Structure 1
Amino acid sequence: MRYGFIGLGHLGRHLASSLARGGFQVAVHDRDRAAAEPALKLGATWAASPAEAAKDADGLITCLPSPKASESVITAALPGFKPGATWIEMSTVDEDTLARLAAPLSARQVDVLACPVTGGVHRAEAGEITVLVGGDKALFDRHRGALQAMGGEVIHLGGHQQASVTKVVTNMLAFIHLIAAGEALMLCKKGGVDLASAFKAIKASSGNSFVHETESQVILNGSYDIGFTMDLACKDAGFALEMGRRFGVPLKLAGLMEQIFVEGRAKYGGGAWSSMIVKLLEDSVGEDLRAPGFPARLEAS
């Protein structure tokens, strides 16, 4: 199987490298040529354009920061698709955008799989990120090997909508947990608890979460480097609220979470790491959440 891969950012560069490492033929493209170097060293080839990445590929994989970026790339790649190929969208996009972009592909006999990923950059680097798959089961089976090369758990959830909703839900929960973890650590600090000990206690308790185990570490270090930005968090929080309105679910906690992230983006900028949302609390209280022995960046396991 031959694949094109477009979007070599914080996540995409690791996914493309895993695909090349898995023995697949991969042609990679990104606006930043230097971002392709890790995959190229593993045997991938460089494609000069999105259309070239799609040319002769059984699947074109995209991992991009926004629906606007996905639209731009797919429009540019359209002439390169061959009949019978598949567009594998690993970005987080809304279902309406996916359906709109799929229409001209369908006219060229190109199928679509929605395959957003969740679990963080460090898991992508380790080849252990979770892949959420939406689309025809036979089509999923055709590309299962490539998806398994990039991820740990690969879960088929049904159609495009089911994959999109599930991905947005995982991010919604992560953002809520992040805010809650910051408040919990601050309460411990103000109560005189050593923060390194507090981290261990929470991790070993019923209050633990994946977000605490990961993002709390870079908060306690002070780097906040989780490889995910405020802009991306606000985009995905907006998707959650829109789905809540569409399905008639009152997302009260998610609504508050979105307001907090909009405030954080306004204060620290859209390119700031999303974990810096906890800095809003640090600044308002006048206390930093720092402890020795925690990493500046989560490493692949």
Structure 2
Amino acid sequence: MKVGFVGVGFMGRHMARNVLNGGHEMKVYDLNRDAADEALSLGATWANSPREAAEGSEVIFTSLPTPQVVEEVASGEGGVFSGASRGSALFDLSTTDPTTIQRIATRAEASGIELLDAPVSGGTGGAEAATLCVMVGGDRDTYDRYKPVLDLIGDKVMYCGGLGSGAVCKIVNNLVGLSVGVLLSEAFSMGVKWGVDAQTLYEAVSGSSGNTNSMHGFPNGIFRRNFEPGFALDLAAKDVGLATQLGRELRVPMEMSNIAQQRYIDGQNRGFGRMAAGAVAIVQEERAGVEIAPKQ
């Protein structure tokens, strides 16, 4: 199958590689050409724009940082829609709000292109191992047609419903996980300040009802002061913001979510935006006057 792939950064490069290893032809584009080196070494062809990546492709994937960038890449000057053929499909693997997805879909329909939202979850590790959860919203027949390609990206590919359904599932997922991250920093700072070792707290909670996947990043993350980005705090702030924005649109009270969003904004204001999302815990450490780390 002829595939176009736009955005081969932290997540996209792994997904593109796995699709290439599945035997498909591919054209790739990224603002940073160096990011495409691996894909090009595996046989992909460089495209000079999203339009070129889409030309002649049966299916196009976008993996991009913000809804604004997704919209520009899809429908802006030199974008995917200006090069894609009628009858082709665009799967947006980014975390994009449903309102933006619907707006882009209207333009896609006018060009005879099928748009599906297909955000992924599982981090860079899941992207590398092809174990991502891929949450797809849009036309069911189009989903079924391209599912074999999606299966090369993740082992938990699921159809979520009509257009925008995948985006909402991803936004809910990230809101839960990222909000838990804020709560964990508060809980651990309390326990450490009392005098319990952070590693002991981790082991106690891991074996109890408070166990959560979010916490399992602590040993290699905050305990080691390792905040190398896999999923950056800037993206965390964006994703929690998408959730609170959707809540406002739906008139859903979301007090706790707004507090979590403010904590990530605080992290951005302290210059942590390009660090891993777990760096939000540093904000709590500063406020509590403790360091969440095992005793030496």
| Same fold, TM-score > 0.5, yes or no | yes
Deviation above 3 Å: which 4+ runs of structure 1? none
> Corresponding residue for 1:273?
276
Establish whether residue 153 from structure 1 lines up as the match of residue 152 from structure 2. no
Establish whether residue 20 from structure 1 lines up as the match of residue 20 from structure 2. yes
Farther off after superposition, 146-155 or 38-47: 38-47
- Give the Cα–Cα distance (whole angstroms) in 2 for the partners of residues 201 and 23 of structure 1: 46
> Corresponding residue for 1:182?
185
* Deviation for aligned residue 1:180: 1.5
> Corresponding residue for 1:47?
47
Q: Secondary structure at the match of 1:228?
A: coil
> Corresponding residue for 2:66?
66
Farther off after superposition, 115-124 or 280-289: 280-289
Which one of the candidate residues 192, 196, 201 is aligned to 2:199?
196
* Deviation for aligned residue 1:268: 2.0
> Corresponding residue for 2:135?
132
1:1-301 equivalences under 5 Å are 1-74=1-74, 75=76, 76-215=79-218, 217-291=220-294
* Deviation for aligned residue 1:241: 1.1
* Deviation for aligned residue 1:216: 5.6
Farther off after superposition, 154-163 or 220-229: 220-229
* Deviation for aligned residue 1:217: 3.2
* Deviation for aligned residue 1:135: 0.8
Provide the TM-score with structure 2 as the length reference.
0.93
* Deviation for aligned residue 1:214: 2.5
Q: Secondary structure at the match of 1:133?
A: strand
* Deviation for aligned residue 1:287: 2.2
Query: Which amino acid in 1 is paired with 2:11?
Result: L
- Give the Cα–Cα distance (whole angstroms) in 1 for the partners of residues 102 and 183 of structure 2: 35
Farther off after superposition, 36-45 or 174-183: 36-45
Q: Give the percent of matched residue pairs that are identical in Structure 1 and Structure 2.
A: 33
Query: Which amino acid in 1 is paired with 2:128?
Result: E
Query: Which amino acid in 1 is paired with 2:252?
Result: V
Structure 1: runs of 5 or more not aligned: 294-301
Residues 220 and 226 in structure 2, CA contact (< 8 A), matched pair in contact too:
no
- Give the Cα–Cα distance (whole angstroms) in 2 for the partners of residues 292 and 112 of structure 1: 52
Residues 241 and 255 in structure 1, CA contact (< 8 A), matched pair in contact too:
yes
- Cα distance, 1:201–1:44 mapped onto 2, change above 3 Å: farther
* Deviation for aligned residue 1:104: 2.5
Q: Secondary structure at the match of 2:133?
A: strand
- Give the Cα–Cα distance (whole angstroms) in 2 for the partners of residues 98 and 264 of structure 1: 28
Provide the TM-score with structure 1 as the length reference.
0.91
* Deviation for aligned residue 1:292: 8.6
* Deviation for aligned residue 1:89: 0.5
* Deviation for aligned residue 1:279: 0.1
- Give the Cα–Cα distance (whole angstroms) in 2 for the partners of residues 52 and 161 of structure 1: 26
* Deviation for aligned residue 1:226: 4.3
Q: Deviations 1:38-95 (Å, cap 9, x if unpaired)?
A: 2223332222221111011111100100122112211222221011100111111112
